[in-house]
Amino acid sequence: MPPGPRSSHGRLPTLSTLILLLLLCGHAHSQCKILRCNAEYVSSTLGLRSAGSPGAHRGGGGGGGGAGGALRSYALCTRRTARTCRGDLAFHSAVHGIEDLMIQHNCSRQGPTAPPPPRGPGLPGSASDPAQPAADPCDFEKRFARLHGRRPGFLHCAAFGDPHVRSFHHHFHTCRVQGAWPLLDNDFLFVQATSSPVASEATNATTTRKLTIIFKNMQECIDQRVYQAEVDNLPAAFEDGSVNGGDRPGGSSLSIQTAHPGSHVEIRAAYIGTTIIIRQTAGQLSFSIKVAEDVARAFSAEQDLQLCVGGCPPSQRLSRSERNRRGAMTVDTARQLCKEGLPVEDAYFQSCVFDVSISGDPNFTVAARAALEDARAFLPDLEKLHLFPPDAGCALCAPTSVAALLSGLLVLWLCIIQ
């Protein structure tokens, strides 16, 4: 028989010891200890901040001091509590923050750790300090700013029209996806779009007819909530009839509201730094989201199929020839209609031209304009508002546009030779 597990003294653990360990593990699993990890890290770096010497912040060194030792201790603490912290936003935020700080301070992942902080009065800003109460655990932005000393980063994704998908990484695809496809699938949020063919099946064009959004249960903040919208049924409440996150202390951190019943719904999830807008236009549903980076990144390898993360798979993207097929309206007419509300001939404009020309429905101009305005409101960097994918517009360019481009090149060449 192979040797069993032994204690540090080389003896087999007794049955009572095993039972005690199981009880302790069960108690540890019932709560996430990330707040303790955060407090210990802040405590271990207070001396470094007050010292102010460059050497105190170097990642190397033979001892456990310095930023390197503190960060290695922080990382070790998060690894020990990882099993009980799955789905905890503060935990995922800390993990990503450690990676950033390791790079910033040029720290090695291997090496000594900082000694445990001495027990004493609570840290400034902790729950034990009545002068400065802890940040609301169900207010993501305030909690993140308190932990990291800066505002969180945000990402934007949208799906509208054919559907056209703008990913978190500013990829813009026109997709042929049919059936149910996940836009998002992470530890906090699941969004699924269901599409069906539009106009002639020969075009391979589809539109989103149904959206399902699941806000997953999150400790003291919210009970799980499910929102479902279909064409001609855009409810202003979750599936169970509620309009918030339930009776938990942070239930109000999830809310749903509408300014235009039946055509526009906005869902705000402050506990995960997320805002979602759903619209119905021209017999299709549009989806737009602003989400905290740490939330968007909180997914495992098994959750890798997300249109908002990777865009449409190559096999599901409409080719240039498919986008150039004859539709119910001429391209010239569609361009004139889209130009009224979309003066910049970017990806939104080209998407509008495609949707209007294929469907023959001028109302698709509204969907493209709304998607652009959502991007204007949600993007942290407006320099990335207008996208010009290399193959987005060529197939939809009218001959007059090509002629204008050639004329411009001729004028530029004349200016150079003079």
pLDDT, tens digit (0-9, with 9 covering 90-100), for 325-365: 667 789 999 999 999 999 999 999 999 999 999 889 999 99
Whole-angstrom CA distances from 80 to 23, 37, 110, 289 are 17, 10, 16, 33
Q: Over 90: is that where the pLDDT of 285 sits?
A: yes
Structure-model confidence comparison of residues 281 and 403, the more confident one: 281
Whole-angstrom CA distances from 60 to 47, 78, 196, 283 are 17, 21, 57, 61
Report residue 55's pLDDT band, with 50, 70 and 90 as the boundaries: very low
Structure-model confidence comparison of residues 327 and 262, the more confident one: 262
Structure-model confidence comparison of residues 393 and 226, the more confident one: 226
* CA atoms of 159 and 281, how far apart (whole Å): 13
Residue 146, helix vs strand vs coil: helix
Whole-angstrom CA distances from 364 to 66, 138, 157, 194, 348 are 58, 38, 19, 18, 11
Going by C-alpha positions, the residue among 374, 194, 409, 399 that lies closest to residue 291 is 374
Q: What percent of the chain has pLDDT over 70?
A: 72
Q: Over 50: is that where the pLDDT of 406 sits?
A: no
Structure-block tokens of residue 174? 């026109």
Q: Report the phi/psi class of residue 290: left, alpha or beta, with left for phi > 0 and alpha for psi in -120 to 50.
A: beta
Report residue 322's pLDDT band, with 50, 70 and 90 as the boundaries: low
Structure-block tokens of residue 69? 């030792």
Q: Is there a contact between 351 and 161 (Cβ–Cβ < 8 Å)?
A: yes
Q: Over 60: is that where the pLDDT of 382 sits?
A: yes
Residue 101, helix vs strand vs coil: helix
Query: What mean pLDDT do residues 231-253 have?
Result: 94
What one-character DSSP code corresponds to residue 321?
H
Provide the β-strand partners of residue 154: 292
Report residue 216's pLDDT band, with 50, 70 and 90 as the boundaries: very high
Structure-model confidence comparison of residues 111 and 317, the more confident one: 317
Structure-model confidence comparison of residues 208 and 204, the more confident one: 208
| pLDDT of res. 304 | 80
Report residue 80's pLDDT band, with 50, 70 and 90 as the boundaries: confident
- 78 half-sphere exposure, CB direction, 13 A CA radius: 21
Going by C-alpha positions, the residue among 63, 307, 107, 87 that lies closest to residue 191 is 307
Report residue 32's pLDDT band, with 50, 70 and 90 as the boundaries: confident
* CA atoms of 67 and 106, how far apart (whole Å): 9
Which has the minimum average pLDDT: 29-38, 47-56, 301-310? 47-56
| pLDDT of res. 24 | 41
Query: What mean pLDDT do residues 401-410 have?
Result: 42
Q: Over 50: is that where the pLDDT of 399 sits?
A: no
Query: What mean pLDDT do residues 99-111 have?
Result: 82
| Mean residue pLDDT across the chain | 78
Tell me how many degrees the CA angle 355-278-230 measures, rounded to the nearest 5.
Answer: 80
Q: Hey, CA dihedral for 267, 262, 369, 168, is it positive or negative? A: positive
| pLDDT of res. 176 | 84
| pLDDT of res. 393 | 38
For residue range 153-175, list pLDDT tens digits in order. Answer: 999 999 999 899 999 999 999 99
| pLDDT of res. 64 | 43
Query: What mean pLDDT do residues 399-415 have?
Result: 42
